[in-house]
Amino acid sequence: MSFSSFTTFDSNPLSTPWSKGFVTHLRPRLLSRPRNVVVCSVNPHAASPSLAVAQSASQGLSRIESLSQVSGVLGCQWGDEGKGKLVDILAQHFDIVARCQGGANAGHTIYNSEGKKFALHLVPSGILNEDTLCVIGNGVVVHLPGLFKEIDGLESNGVSCKGRILISDRAHLLFDFHQVVDGLREAELAKSLIGTTKRGIGPCYTSKVVRNGIRVSDLRHMDTFPQKLDVLLSDAASRFRGFNYGPDMLREEVEKYKRYAERLEPFVADTVLVMNEAISHKKKILVEGGQATMLDIDFGTYPFVTSSSPSAGGICTGLGIAPRVVGDLVGVVKAYTTRVGSGPFPTELSGKEGDLLRFAGQEFGTTTGRPRRCGWLDIVALKYSCQINGFSSLNLTKLDVLSEFSEIQLGVSYKHIDGRLIKSFPGDLRLLEELKVEYEVLPGWKSDISSIRNYFDLPKAARQYVERIEELVDVPIHYIGVGPGRDALIFK
C-alpha cells in the first residue's frame, strides 16, 4: 500500500484539483446546485401539498438560507433528540456536513424521501443528499469494521459513498479490543455502572489522552504499526485480568488492518486543510454533533457522560477550524426529556406516564436498542445548555408524542430540600439527586398533529407550549418536529 502523498490532496485518487489544490469533492457542480428546492421532501405517494405546506416550505427555505456559512446542529439534552433529521434536511443547502467528535456511540436515524429508514453511527447524516461531502474530523474515533459495514449498507440501498466521505488522517482508530475493555470496565464498576454503549469509545479516548493511541495516518507505516498495536494490547492485558492477549491476536489484527488500510486509502485526507480551504472558498459547512451537551465530558453529569465534547467547543478542536468562523448553532431538544444509561435525571417519570412517553415516542436506542428513561422537559437543563452553546435557535422535536396527554408539565426550576432556589444546573451529583423540581402545568391538546405543516394550524395548547419554552429559555424555536419523516417539520 502506498500512502506516500497521504496529506496531499492533489495525489488523492478521488481528487482532481480545480482551485489551488482545493479538493474536488466540492466540484463545480456544487456551485451550480439550485438553491430553490423545497427543503422538506414530500412523500411521492401523498396528495398534493396544501397551501399551508407550501407556505411552511417557503418560510423554511428562507430560514435555512439565512444560516451562516459555518453552522452547527448540537444536542441540548442527554442525546437522542433527533439531530440527524434536521441535519439531513439542512444538508440540501450545505456543501459539507462534518462530524467533529464521538464515535459509533452516536445513533442518528433519518429517512429518505421515500420514507426508507437509515440508522447512521459514524457517517454524517448529510450522506443522503448526493451533492454533499461528508467529513469525519480529527476529533472522531473511528471503528473501521463498523464504518465499512455502514458504507456497505448505504451502497446496497442505492446511496453512493464513493468520493463523498473524507476521514481525517489525525482521527484515532478504535479497535475491537477497545470494545472488550469497555465491557470489562463496566463489569468492574458493578453497581456504579456508567451505562456506556460498550462501543469502546471511552477506552479509545483513554488511549488518545495517555498518548499511546493509533491514528489513521499510522496505517501508512506498516513497518511500525505492529509495535504500536502491541503496546496498546499489552497495556489492556496488564490492566484487565479477563483480557487474553497473545502473539496470535497481534498477528491476526495486523493482517486485518493491512486489508483495512488498502480500502481506507481513498477516503483519507488532511481534513484540517479541507475545512479551512472550504471556508476560504466560501463553501457552506454544517457541523453535526454526536451525543449532546448534558453528556459533555466537562459540562455534563460527570462521570455519567461521554468521553468527548459534544458542546460548541468541540467543533473547533474536533475539526481544526477557528472559533471566529463558527456562526449559527441550532440546538435540538425533544419536547420532553430522555436519557439512556445511568446518572441523574431530575424530571424523570416512573410508572404509567413514563411508559406512555416511552412507547408513544418509541424511545429505544438507535445504537443499543435499550429502553430510554423518560421525563418532562427540563427547562433548567435546557437554559444551561443554551448558555454553554450560545444557540441562535432551537429545533423542538417530537411534539406530536405529547398529544397523548391531557396535561403537560414543564420543569421550570430547581430548589434545595429547604426551599432555596438553585440558580443553574449544578455540577454536584449529590445535589442533583436530592433537589426538588418545580413544575408548571400546561393544558394538553389531545389531537393528532402529525399531518400539520403550518405553525398556526397547531392547536392553541400546542402553540402555548412552544411559546412558553421560548419565553423561559429566551431562544427562538425555528423548527418543530411532528413526526419521523423528512416532511414532518414545521418552520416557525
108 is catalytic: yes
Q: Is 306 annotated as a binding residue?
A: yes
152 is catalytic: no
Same domain, 363 and 484: yes
| Number of domain units in the chain | 3
Kindly state whether residue 307 falls inside one of the protein's structural domains: yes
Range of the domain at 250: 173-264
Q: What is the CATH number of the domain that holds 235?
A: 1.10.300.10
Q: Name the catalytic one among 25, 93, 143, 208.
A: 208
Nearest to 67 by CA among 90, 38, 100, 40: 90
Same domain, 368 and 438: yes
Kindly state whether residue 212 falls inside one of the protein's structural domains: yes
Same domain, 154 and 287: yes
Kindly state whether residue 344 falls inside one of the protein's structural domains: yes
Q: Is 372 annotated as a binding residue?
A: yes
Same domain, 307 and 341: no
d(CA 127, CA 44): 21
Kindly state whether residue 244 falls inside one of the protein's structural domains: yes
Same domain, 149 and 254: no
Q: pLDDT (tens digit, 0 to 9) for every residue of the chain, 492 residues total?
A: 333 333 333 334 334 332 334 554 454 334 334 333 333 333 333 334 456 566 666 777 888 989 999 999 999 999 989 998 999 899 999 999 999 999 987 777 788 777 788 888 999 989 999 899 999 999 999 999 999 999 999 999 999 999 999 999 999 999 999 988 887 777 766 655 565 667 889 899 999 999 999 999 999 999 999 999 999 999 888 888 878 888 999 999 999 999 999 999 999 999 999 999 999 999 999 999 999 999 999 999 999 999 999 999 999 999 999 999 999 999 999 999 999 888 999 999 988 888 989 998 989 876 667 889 999 999 999 999 999 999 999 999 999 999 989 999 999 999 999 999 999 999 999 999 999 999 999 999 999 999 999 999 999 999 999 999 999 999 999 999 999 888 999 999
Q: Name the catalytic one among 25, 93, 108, 198.
A: 108
Q: Is 99 annotated as a binding residue?
A: no
Q: Name the catalytic one among 25, 80, 121, 283.
A: 80
Q: Is 366 annotated as a binding residue?
A: yes
298 is catalytic: no
Q: Is 398 annotated as a binding residue?
A: yes
